[in-house]
């Protein structure tokens, strides 16, 4: 009996004991892109990295047909490129509601989705020809190294910004990520559209704020229990601050006390919301707005505290656009007001 016939049944059995966040859809065989589109594919060589951050090259003779995608940036970027019908498993998204609305139906059509990673044996049974993820995805305790998969004829692709030792994360890296995946799948034009949208938004802000002598003073923080950590200039959020031309406070990326935040007195405060707190944004903001010690802050008086989901500022892929627009609207609300 062919594996393609027994695989869905076996996988259901393997996942029976898993968390309810795992969703196994009945129909694995969705319509693929037309054979004509693949027929005109030009082989490409992609410069990428292995899990150690070392440069590697990979040649694609044809676009991948069976993709395992790990983390939201990987999944959504592929969906935005029109490759949803190639994804056989997507892991790392807490809930479908956090996928962009225009791609949600395509996400829900992926045969196997879960927040947690499937084990290596199960993924091998899926017979992927490409695994897309972060550098940490290919650690020994997760999905094993890139050489393990190369030895089994499976391509691996790692988001450049997730590279081990990468201490300066930029918008340019996210654009490179989108463009690389566009080349791998022969969707260069669509990739350029996605990258162009980010560049156009930044250009729009630059044009509309060119007259400003005084720039808004912005602070980006993450609440880590009792610790408050600022996002520095070397983070993706910091590069967005630079691109949008603001006075980036605490740009060294240090721990801050409430007293230091009061002293900084930002015009706009952006709070990074991690995956565990998605859906709790209103509660987090209320805690800050109602804190008696913060009532003198400009951003509290003017109601300029904004939540920013982690997926928009860390290895963000197409969601880099979301990060740029969240910051831009919070920093320069006047340029977005309809006359």
Note the pLDDT tens digit of each residue in 166-192: 889 999 999 999 999 999 999 999 999
DSSP 284: H
Q: What share of the chain is helix, strand, coil (3-state, %, to 5)?
A: 45, 20, 40
Q: Is residue 198 part of a domain?
A: no
- Round to whole Å and give the CA distance between 251 and 110: 40
- Strand ranges, E, within 1-54: 23-24, 44-49
Do 76 and 220 belong to one domain? no
Q: What total number of domains does the chain contain?
A: 2
Q: Is residue 200 part of a domain?
A: no
Q: Is residue 191 part of a domain?
A: no
What pLDDT sits at residue 164?
A: 81
* List of residues 6+ apart from 177 with CB closer than 8 A: 73, 77, 159, 160, 161, 315, 317
Do 13 and 74 belong to one domain? yes
What pLDDT sits at residue 35?
A: 56
Q: Is residue 177 part of a domain?
A: no
Q: Is residue 288 part of a domain?
A: yes
- Round to whole Å and give the CA distance between 184 and 45: 8
- Round to whole Å and give the CA distance between 80 and 182: 10
* Residue 199 burial (CB count, 10 A): 15
User: Residue 18 belongs to a domain with what CATH number?
Assistant: 3.40.50.1980
Which of 158, 176, 191 finishes a domain?
158
Note the pLDDT tens digit of each residue in 90-127: 999 999 999 999 999 999 999 999 999 999 999 999 99
Of 53 and 165, which is predicted with more confidence?
Answer: 53
């Amino acid at each position: 009996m062919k594996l393609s016939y027994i695989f869905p049944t076996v996988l259901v059995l393997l996942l029976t004991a898993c968390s309810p966040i795992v969703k196994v859809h009945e129909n694995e065989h969705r319509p693929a892109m037309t054979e004509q589109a693949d027929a005109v594919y030009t082989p490409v060589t992609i410069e990428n990295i292995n899990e150690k951050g070392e440069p590697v090259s990979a040649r694609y003779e044809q676009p991948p047909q069976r993709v395992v995608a790990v983390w939201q940036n990987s999944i959504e970027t592929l969906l935005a490129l029109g490759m949803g019908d190639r994804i056989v498993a997507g892991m790392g998204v807490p809930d479908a509601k956090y996928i962009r609305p225009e791609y949600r139906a395509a996400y829900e059509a992926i045969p196997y989705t879960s927040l947690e990673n499937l084990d290596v044996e199960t993924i091998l049974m899926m017979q992927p020809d490409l695994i897309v993820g972060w550098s940490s995805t290919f650690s020994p305790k997760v999905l094993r190294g890139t050489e393990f998969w190369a030895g089994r004829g499976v391509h691996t692709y790692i988001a450049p910004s997730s590279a081990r030792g990468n201490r300066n994360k930029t918008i340019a890296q996210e654009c490179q990520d989108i463009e690389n995946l566009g080349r791998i799948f022969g969707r260069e034009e669509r990739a350029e559209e996605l990258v162009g949208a980010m560049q156009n938004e930044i250009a729009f802000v630059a044009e509309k704020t060119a007259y400003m002598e005084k720039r808004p003073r912005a602070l980006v923080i993450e609440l880590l229990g009792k610790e408050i950590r600022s996002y520095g200039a070397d983070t993706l959020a910091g590069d967005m601050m630079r691109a949008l031309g603001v006075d980036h406070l605490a740009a060294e990326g240090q721990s801050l006390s409430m007293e230091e935040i009061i002293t900084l007195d930002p015009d706009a405060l952006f709070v990074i919301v991690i995956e565990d707190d998605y859906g709790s944004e209103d509660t987090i903001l209320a805690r800050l707005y109602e804190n008696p010690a913060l009532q003198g802050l400009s951003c509290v008086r003017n109601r300029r505290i904004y939540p920013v989901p982690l997926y928009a500022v860390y290895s963000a892929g197409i969601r880099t656009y979301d990060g740029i627009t969240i910051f831009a609207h919070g920093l320069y609300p006047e340029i977005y007001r309809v006359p």
